[in-house]
């Protein structure tokens, strides 16, 4: 749903495909939103999360590329993100702090997915 160099019409079609998938995919128990940790909270992402909330779609946030920030900057940036979320959410979703370069957060994320996979699928 993010940035795409496409015509407005194509963007609309892609949006529809993504939304239909998210709402109709029965097997999906949690949606992971990957957020480049270097960026400030983006309107498009916050709106997407709001839409997920309205549609009762469980989600978690995965901060990526944390190796690209100093640990002080990473702390500051992710705290800013959490604070922005708390402006519109009562509580925070699960949040993972990761880097594919140094593998941080990998086990936490895999453990969480494993736990999710143990849950029974919700019936309609
Ligand atoms: N240093 C670093 N590079 C990463 C990380 N994750 C992905 N990359 C690199 O970023 C580039 C894009 O990889 P993708 O897998 O498309 O990651 P993405 O998060 O979608 O990033 P963009 O496509 O750049 O928005 C590749 O060169 C990856 O090797 C990370 O955690 N740390
Ligand atoms: Mg990419």
> Which burial class, exposed, middle or buried, applies to 17 when counting CB atoms under 10 A from its CB (0-12, 13-18, 19+)?
exposed
Ligand 2 centroid from CA 45, angstroms: 15
Residue 3: is its pLDDT beyond 70? Answer: no
Q: What's the pLDDT score for residue 1? A: 72
Q: What's the pLDDT score for residue 124? A: 46
- Lining residues, ligand 1, CB within 6 Å: 34, 36, 64-65, 67-68, 99-101
Q: Could you tell me the residue ranges of all domains in the chain?
A: 30-118
Q: Does domain 30-118 have CATH number 3.40.50.300?
A: yes
Q: What's the pLDDT score for residue 5? A: 81
User: How does pLDDT run across 50-103, given as a tens digit for each residue?
Assistant: 999 999 999 999 999 999 999 999 999 999 999 999 999 999 999 999 999 999
Q: Which atom of ligand 1 is nearest to the CA of 100?
A: 31
Beta strand 95-97 with 31-36 is unpaired
User: How does pLDDT run across 63-78, given as a tens digit for each residue?
Assistant: 999 999 999 999 999 9
Residues contacting residue 68 through CB under 8 Å, at least 6 positions apart: 37, 38, 99
User: How does pLDDT run across 27-46, given as a tens digit for each residue?
Assistant: 999 999 999 999 999 999 99
């Amino acid at each position: 749903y993010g940035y795409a160099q496409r015509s407005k019409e194509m963007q609309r079609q892609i949006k529809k495909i993504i939304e239909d998938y998210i709402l109709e995919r029965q097997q999906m128990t949690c949606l992971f939103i990957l957020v480049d940790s270097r960026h400030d909270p983006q309107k498009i992402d916050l709106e997407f999360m709001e839409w997920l909330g309205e549609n009762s779609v469980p989600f978690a946030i995965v901060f990526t590329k944390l190796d690209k920030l100093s640990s002080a900057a990473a702390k500051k940036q992710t705290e800013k993100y959490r604070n922005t979320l708390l402006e519109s959410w009562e509580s925070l979703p699960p949040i993972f702090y990761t880097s594919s370069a140094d593998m941080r957060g990998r086990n936490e994320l895999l453990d969480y997915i494993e736990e999710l996979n143990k849950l029974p699928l919700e019936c309609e």
